[in-house]
Each structure stands twice: as C-alpha cells, then as structure tokens.
Chain A
Amino acid sequence: MMEELFRMTYPVASADYVNAGKVSTDIKRRLKQLGVGGDVLRRVAVASYEVELNLVIHSLGGELCLTVFSDAVQLVSADVGPGIPDLDMAMREGYSTANEEARSLGFGAGMGLPNMKRNADEFDIKSELGTGTTITMRFNLPS
C-alpha cells in the first residue's frame, strides 16, 4: 500500500438508531469530494453502511476509521465487544443474531458480513469473545 494521505475516525455508539447511517453518509460525501466515484464508491457505500449498522446493532460501541491511500481506500471497524462466538456462522448469508429492537426496525436479514466481503477487494475479520471485533476492508482505486 502506498503513502497514507487522509484519515478520519468516527465513533459509533451502541444501539444509537437515531444516528445510524450518518457516518457512512459522511464517508460517501468525503470520498465524492476527493473524486472517488463509480464502482468503487458504490462498493464502499454498501460496505460502510453495513459495518456501521453492525456496530450499532451488535456491538457495545466502537469506531470506524477511513483511510485513503493514493491507490486504495481502507475501512477499519474496531469495537469493544462482545465479540463473535462463531465466525463461520456469522459469515453465512441469512444467519443473524440481531435482537428484537433491531428486527422491529427492519434489520437482521443476516446479510451484513457477507455483503461487506462481497463488496470489498480484501476483507479480514478478527474477533475475540469479551474483547471485541476488528474488521479490515480494502477497496482498490483505479490508476
């Protein structure tokens, strides 16, 4: 990866449905102002929304970090818990551990993590019960 040129970090609070989606909206806006568009923007848009909502619905709180390199966009989600007990199940389409409140608001289709993996050029997830989960996604920029 080439020189890091721009970074923004956004805190996301647990169960904060009122503000859910605002971070990914800002990420999109900034990328457009930087001239990142087309297919890359669409994929970052989908993935950033999914990862933000995961922080709201499932985590105890965390942050989203956007880093723009001259050849790629990187999105890292890091939370403080509770951690994912079964990573394989979590990555399966249709599997969801969303609670009542989330489902009543229309979330919990079980497509979040698979959507992220499908839209990113590189996807990495690490989780430890009791500590938290870190997701790293990379989206290559056309030269």
Chain B
Amino acid sequence: MQEKKRYHSVRLDKDRCKGCTNCLTHCPTAAIRVRGGRAHILDNLCIDCGECIRICDYHAKVAFTDVMANIKAYKYSIALPAPSLYGQFRGLTRPEYVLEALKRVGFDDVFEVARGADIVTRAIREQLREPNQPRPMISSACPTVVRLIQVRFPELIDHIVNIRQPMEVAASVARAEFCKKHQCAPSDVGCFFITPCPAKMTAIRTPIGQKKSELDGAISMMELYGLLLPHINEMLDDPDYVPSTGYGVAWATANGEANAVCPDNSLSVDGISNVIRVLEEVENDKLSDLIYLEGNACMGGCVGGPLTFENSYVAKNSIRKMVRHMPPDHPDKAVPISMLNKYPTKNDLPIEPNTAEKLDDNLVEAMRKMKRMNEIIARLPGYDCGSCGSPTCAAFAEDIVRGYCTEMDCVHLLREKLKVMAEEMVELAQSKRE
C-alpha cells in the first residue's frame, strides 16, 4: 500500500544522526524506524508534531522552513506573525513593537494572525449555532491534531469544524487589502507566516481541506528572534493599523481559542499524548455533553511549539499580561459579519482519512496478518527496547508481517539462538572425542 511521498517539514540531518533510540521511542504515531544505523521517518505516518525535534540530543531532527532570503522572490512581502511571537520577548507590553520590528527587518507590511483568529472565532461560533452537529466539535487550528485524527481517529473527521485556520484567513485579508492599497497584482505579494512549529509549514505546503494555501511560505520564530531583538523598541508607525482583540492574541496559549469560541462548554487539551487520550474518550461517546474541544499538540499551546525561543511558561504569562491590557471586546462585537462573506473562511475540500495504519485493504488478508503478528509477539521478549529499530515489540511484529525485517533482527532472539548453537557445537565437539 505505498502512497505517494508526502511533504514534511520535519526532516533528518543524516550526518548528525547516531541511530539511537530516543526519537524512535517518542514518536506518538510510531512513524520512525532506525535501519542501517540511522533514523527514517515514515512519511505516510508522520504528523509533524516535532516531538522528535525536541528529544534529539544530537540536533539531528530539524524543521525545514523558509529563510528570510526567500521573501526577496516577491516584489512585496507581508509578514503574518502567529500571536505566540509576542510572547517571545520578555517585558513586551504591546504587539505593535514586534510588528514595527518585522517591518524593519525587511517585510513591506505586516498583518496579525490574531486578527485572522478573531474572524475565525466569529465563523466557528456561527457554525456551532447550526443544528445536528456532532458533539463535541473539534478545532481545526492545530494541523498536527487534524493529521492525528486522519491517521488514528478517522471516525472523528466529521467532528472537525469546517473552518479554515487563522493564518489562512489572515493571509486572504492581508493580500486583498495590500493589493487594493498599493494597486498591485496578487502574485506580486508573498505572504509569509511566522511560525512556532513545523506542522504549520507542512500545512502551507500540503494543506488539508484546501486546494492551495493562501500563504507562500513560513519563517520560523527561532530564525527571526535574533534579527528582531535589536528592533523591539519602536512603536508601529501605521495610521491604518487595526488591532486584534485580546481574544485573538490569546489563541497563542492553550484554552485561548476555547475561551473565545465557547467559554461555557469547552475543553482545552495540550500535549500530544493527552490529546490522544481525550480523543479515545470522544470516540467512546464519553464527551458527548461537550460542545467544543480544542486540542494542542504542544504543551501550553502554540507558545510551546518546537520552533519558539522563549520558555513556554514565561511566554504564556507574557501573553496573559498583554491580553489583560487590551480592550475587552469579543470578536462577536469587533468583527462585522460581512467579513465572513467577503473572505473565504470555510474549507473547500473534505478532510480525507489516512489509512496508513491499516494492515491490508482486504479484511480476510488483514486478519491473517494480525494472527501472524500475535504469534510473533508471543515469541518476542516484550522489552520494547528499540534495538531492532522498531519502537515496540508489537511494531516490530507488524514490520515483520509487512515484510520489512525478520525475527533475527531482534538482538535478544539472536542471542538466544547463538546460545543454542554454541551448546550444539560443544555437544558436537564432545561427541567427536568419544
């Protein structure tokens, strides 16, 4: 069942990889194997969560993102910062300082993704008003969570809100407004998302629910931090600046979206293994009284992304303080309903399941494979050590059945076999003497 190769921002730097078991055993979708002394990412299972980037001691796991030089490919460039960027600078009181700094490092204009979040808040609230919706509805904001659902919980795809991510909506508005103001063609403008994570980069290159992303690329916060730091002292000088609401900025932290969209009956979950656990409960119909579920692959929300600079707890606190000093208007008041009609806010493609975990397209064949898997697992030691290059003994059994390796790849089974062979040699030698 080989699918065509999928794009992933998360990549391996082969020269740095030691072939150890760290990333192998920490991948939430068991998408890594170590073969031939180095890690391999199974591109049909990888959900770009970046856990392997976090755990790798040798910095061999990297996120491929655009570099600043790429903005020169366009006549004009617009920076679209995720609100988590505002939490990267200690002591920052207002977003406007970061927005001005972005212009000073080379962008022609800047448009806050927090404003996109405000529009999306309004759009989701409109959709939640519709009757007969699955309960709970699940946020589409974290691409890793959406991909996790495609791979592991495809039956919950119809729970995902049919609304685009804030960065996409922000880019639609940013490009249209810029082109109108400067009388230029849409293709003259490069819209670049300033990203806290690789998942958003992957979502731009291979969007889910959209034919094509409204964005042209993503630049990581890690790359920009050093460039921006010397410029965070000047206020934004733009008479046309329209601020977002505090609710929009709060999307940067866990519970920010849930609080904006559905404060009375929502749940926010952060950390990929916690999200998996909660989705199991949704699947068992145990959370059917809940209206909205916000899932974040990263602890703390986007401020905890693998490409952020600042400690996620400090950043979360900075955002919280910043939001407290912003006007209290809710997006229902701040965003006119006409915005939802003027710019695309809904997905234009359905979200498809990812069948990579299926053993076979044919049920009978799949059952035969599973039976073989169980027989093999009974012979394995159950240490889940990773020495064979598969994350667990169960995954190893599956890999054998899929034809990727053999039982003797297990170091422990090999040792047992060698012991038996050695004993046979001794017996043979002794019998020869007699």
A interface residues (Cβ-Cβ under 8 A, vs B): 5-6, 8, 21, 24-25, 28, 30, 32-38, 41-42, 45-46, 49, 68, 70, 115, 141
| Min distance, Cβ A76 to any Cβ of chain B, angstroms | 18
**Could you name 26 residue pairs across A and B whose Cβ atoms are closer than 8 Å?**
A5-B363, A5-B367, A6-B367, A21-B284, A25-B280, A28-B280, A28-B283, A30-B370, A32-B152, A33-B366, A34-B363, A34-B370, A35-B355, A35-B359, A35-B360, A35-B361, A35-B366, A42-B283, A42-B285, A45-B155, A45-B283, A46-B284, A49-B285, A49-B286, A68-B363, A70-B364
- A41/B155 contact (C-beta < 8 A), A32-B358, A35-B359 known: yes
Q: How far is the CA of A141 from the CA of B374 in the complex (A)?
A: 23
Chain B residues contacting A36 (CB-CB under 8 Å) are: 363
Question: B371: CB under 8 A from chain A?
Answer: yes
With A6-B371, A41-B155, A42-B155 as contacts: A34 and B366 at CB distance below 8 Å = yes
Tell me, rounded to whole Å, the shortest Cβ–Cβ distance linking B358 to chain A. 5
A30 to B371, CA, bound (A): 11
The answer to whether A38 touches B155, judged by C-beta atoms less than 8 angstroms apart, is yes
Q: How far, in whole Å, are A38 and B360 apart by their CA atoms in the complex?
A: 16
A68 vs B374: C-alpha distance in the bound complex, in angstroms? 15
Q: Are A46 and B155 in contact (CB under 8 A)?
A: no
Minimum distance in angstroms from B150 CB to a CB of chain A: 12
* Complex interface: chain A residues within 8 A of B207 (CB): none
What residues of chain B have their CB less than 8 Å away from a CB belonging to chain A? 152, 154-155, 280, 283-286, 353, 355, 357-364, 366-368, 370-371, 374
**Cβ–Cβ < 8 Å partners of A35 in chain B:** 355, 358-363, 366
A37 contacts B364, C-beta separation under 8 Å: no
Question: What CA separation (Å) do A32 and B356 show in the bound complex?
Answer: 10
Q: Which residues of B contact A38 (CB under 8 A)?
A: 155
A37 near B154: Cβ-Cβ < 8 Å: yes
CB proximity of B278 to chain A, nearest CB, Å: 12
Chain A at the B interface: mostly helix, strand, loop or mixed? helix
Q: Chain B residues near A49 (CB, 8 Å)?
A: 284-286
Q: How far is the CA of A69 from the CA of B99 in the complex (A)?
A: 61
Q: Which residues on B sit within 8 Å (CB–CB) of A41?
A: 155
Closest residue of chain B to A33 (Cβ to Cβ) is B359
CB within 8 A of A70: which of B154, B360, B363?
A: B363
Bound-complex Cα distance A6 to B155 (A): 22
- For A8, the closest partner residue in chain B by CB is B374
- Cα(A36)–Cα(B284), bound, Å: 15
Closest to B358 in A: A35
Extra inter-chain contacts (8) besides given A6-B367, A70-B363, CB under 8 Å: A5-B368, A8-B374, A21-B284, A35-B360, A35-B362, A37-B155, A49-B286, A115-B285
Q: Which residues of A contact B284 (CB under 8 A)?
A: 21, 24, 45-46, 49
Please give the distance in Å from A51's CB to the nearest CB on chain B.
Answer: 12
Question: Smallest CB–CB gap between A117 and chain B, Å?
Answer: 14
Choice from A25, A32, A42 contacting B357 with Cβ under 8 Å: A32
The 4 closest A-B pairs by CB, nearest first: A6-B367, A49-B284, A5-B367, A34-B366
A34 touching B155 by the CB < 8 A rule?
no
CB-CB < 8 A to A28: which residues of B?
Answer: 280, 283
Return the contact of B359 from the options A34, A37, A68 (Cβ within 8 A): A34
Q: Which of chain B's residues have a CB closer than 8 A to the CB of A68?
A: 363, 367
The interface residues of chain B lying within 8 Å CB-to-CB of A37 are 154-155, 353
With a CB–CB cut-off of 8 A, which chain A residues contact B155? 37-38, 41-42, 45
Set of chain B residues within 8 Å of A21, measured between Cβ atoms:
280, 284
With A and B bound together, what is the CA distance between A34 and B364 in angstroms?
A: 9
Distance (Å) between the CB of B242 and the closest chain A CB? 44
Shortest C-beta distance, A49 to chain B (Å), equals 4
Closest to A119 in B: B285
The residue on B at minimum CB distance from A42 is B155
CA distance A96 to B362 in the complex (A): 42
**In the complex, residue of chain A having the shortest beta-carbon distance to the beta carbon of B362:** A35
What residues of B have a CB within 8 angstroms of the CB of A42 in the complex?
A: 155, 283, 285
* Complex alpha-carbon distance, A129 and B152, angstroms: 41
Q: Please, which residues of chain B bring their CB within 8 A of the CB of A46?
A: 284-285
CB contacts (< 8 Å) of B364 on chain A: these are 5, 70
